[in-house]
Amino acid sequence: MPHIIKSKIRTIPHWPKQGIMFRDITTLLKDREGFNRMIDLFVERYKNSKITSVVGIESRGFIAGSALAHRLGIGFIPIRKPKKLPAETISEEYELEYGKDRIEIHKDAISKGDDVLLVDDLIATGGTALAACSLIKKLGGNVAECCFIVDLPDLGGKKKLENAGYKVFNLVEFEGN
């Protein structure tokens, strides 16, 4: 029933800049039926998998990712913006539409051979997700799948991940900007 999920996501035109149709999941998160259904759909997909932990990308990936990890009875690992994690980290730089950014993970977060599920709210151009996959691989982990609530297919991020050899799953998609 992904249509329930999609109906709970608000679109905000021209945010953060003119021409962007921002897909706001906060309306999904505050809705008991929608939020629970979203987590149920993810649990159903991954309950029999061999994933050892869920990795969530700051910050909305923390919400779905930690709830999913809890329901699956496995650990949750955050990937954060620079200088937010207290222990030793490794980082990965990636391209933005108008510059560069960086994300980090603790060096001891993933062990060699761990099968992890990468979770975020939305896949757009794919830069952040590809950087996160790179961090997981640098630590010796395997990306079992990349999982998103929303795909924006016109921006090509899902295709980039698939072309890089990653499996990708999303609940809903919004075509157009």
What is the rounded radius of gyration, in angstroms, for the C-alpha atoms of the chain?
16
46: CB partners within 8 A, 6+ apart: 68, 72, 117, 145, 147
166: CB partners within 8 A, 6+ apart: 133, 143, 145, 146
Backbone angles phi, psi at 14, to 5 degrees: 60, 40
93 a catalytic residue: no
95 a catalytic residue: no
Angle at which helices 60-72 and 32-46 cross, to 10°: 60
Annotated active-site residue in 60, 80, 92, 104: 60
Annotated active-site residue in 32, 44, 88, 97: 97
CB 55 within 8 A of CB 118: yes
26: CB partners within 8 A, 6+ apart: 10
Annotated catalytic sites, by residue?
A: 60, 97
